[in-house]
Amino acid sequence: MLKPGRCLLRALILTMDLNFTTEELAFRATIREWVARHLPQDISHKVLNALRLTREDHQRWAKILGAQGWLGWNWPKAFGGPGWNAIERHLFEEELALAGAPRVIPFGPVMVAPVIMAFGSAEQQRRFLPGIASGEVWWSQGYSEPGSGSDLASLKTRAERVGDHYIVNGQKTWTTLAQHGDWIFCLVRTSNEGKPQTGISFLLIDMKSPGVTVRPIVLLDGEPEVNEVWFDNVKVPAENLVGEENKGWTYAKYLLAHERTNIADVNRAKRELERVKRIAKAEGVWEDLRFRDQIALLEVDIVALEMMVLRVLSAEKSGRQSLDVAGLLKIRGSEIQQRYAELMMLAAGPFATPFISEAMEAGWQGEHVGAAHCAPLAGTYFNMRKTTIYGGSNEVQRNIVAQTVLG
């Protein structure tokens, strides 16, 4: 049944290939060269050494990307984006991560922009997208509430239509970096009829509006990374409603579906594994084979995760197969983030225990306990516990995965 002698024919058919194409490699080289020339070294120094980043650091880098037209790197050409395919976007993200660029604050370009493109009015697109693309406007995400974590649809923040405004009352929480925010996109309750999901709307709110109060929440690493945001009779123009009233849940789900492979954060994991190795060598545990084997195991985990990401990218590019593994990528990616932070801390051992907050500032002139690289390790480890909790906890992700397998 199988006929021999098809080698010539076979050579003409594209077959499975792990390698990037010449065009993809050239694309990567272009990005690499651009990043080398444009990423400020004082910023990458902070990122590569896990030192504290300021709002100004984030904004400066966002504006550099914005000026190049790459802050919306996942945007289609119709909205001024580069129109890259899945693999090009991946390569772009990888080059930025490996070079030590700060993580792009995703709420504007990655999260709210695609929703405005898909469901916003032409006027909203004209008004909001330029500020997102340029990096001028800092967006925050108003989803979670004190009573609504994993069960997001139970949210209670109310928006009541009064004339041509909404009056918003309620409280959001875990709002990442909202202390820097100019605008916030919120899921708000506009109806109590029917299922909880059907009474939710997607509202854009100027954070300078009277009645908005932001209070930082200090996390276990001592850093004010998230916030509580109160809305006390905040007047929001009705034109800031995205799409239709009570359809916000649909838009939020669209947003989640938009966030695919990036969720695994495998590029950053590769960079951080290199840091694990450097620290292990400097701290003398690299020669301890029982310790080194743990690094080797993490390396295997990262290769396997990267292969899973590449499978998804290939499927997206060709459109020939569909891979429903977003939940798996989130679970595995977050576990790996926790693991590299853990191994770095364990490599430093006793030298990870001092808590000198100023040592996390670039250019600190004080005396380090042990090597300077030890100072942020425990803090990063503590901070990373968030990764299996946010973005849909890993337990919620397991529900989603089980649903796809078991029905």
Partner 1 sequence: MDFDFTDEQVSLREAVARWVAKDHGFERRHGLAKAGGASRAVYGELAELGLCALAVPEAHGGMGFGAVEAMVVMEELGRGLVCAPYAQGALIAPALLGFAVDAAFADKASAWLSGVADGSQLLVLAHQERGARYALDRCTTTARWDSAAWRLTGHKSVVPAGDEADGFIVPAQVEGQLALFLVGRDAQGLAVRGYPTQDGARAADVVLSASPAALITRDGLSALALAQDIGIAALAAEAVGVMDRLVATTVDYLNTRKQFGVALSTFQSLRHRVADVKMQLELARSMSYYATLKLSEPAAQRRRALSQAKVQLNHSVRFVGQQCIQLHGGIGVTDEYSASHDFKRLTMIEMAWGDTPHHLGEVSARMLDTAGVFA
β-partners of residue 184 are 140, 205
**Closest among 172, 198, 187 to 252, alpha carbons compared:** 187
- Output the smallest distance, CB 61 to partner 1, in A: 24
Which burial class, exposed, middle or buried, applies to 7 when counting CB atoms under 10 A from its CB (0-12, 13-18, 19+)?
A: exposed
Provide φ and ψ at 48, rounded to 5°.
Answer: -70, -20
| Structure tokens belonging to residue 301 | 């985990």
> Alpha-carbon torsion 334, 337, 339, 345, what sign?
negative
| Residue closer to partner 1 (CB basis): 342 or 361 | 342
| Residue closer to partner 1 (CB basis): 49 or 198 | 49
| Residue closer to partner 1 (CB basis): 357 or 403 | 403
Please tell me the number of Cα atoms within 13 Å of 288 on its side-chain side: 12
| Residue closer to partner 1 (CB basis): 200 or 264 | 264
Count CB atoms within 10 A of the CB of residue 65.
24
Cα separation values, 63 from 11, 39, 368, Å:
47, 11, 34
| Residue closer to partner 1 (CB basis): 206 or 299 | 299
Check if the beta carbon of residue 32 is closer than 8 Å to that of residue 93.
no
- Which of the following is catalytic: 228, 245, 259, 299? 259
- Output the smallest distance, CB 160 to partner 1, in A: 37
Which burial class, exposed, middle or buried, applies to 60 when counting CB atoms under 10 A from its CB (0-12, 13-18, 19+)?
A: middle
Give CA–CA dist 373/352, Å, rounded.
9
Q: Which residues bind partner 1 (CB under 8 A)?
A: 1-7, 10, 13-21, 24, 87, 266, 270, 273-274, 277-278, 289, 292-293, 295-297, 299-308, 310-311, 313-315, 317-318, 320-321, 325, 327-328, 331-332, 395, 397-399, 401-402, 404-407
**Annotated catalytic, 24?**
no
- Output the smallest distance, CB 23 to partner 1, in A: 11
Query: Catalytic site residues?
Result: 259
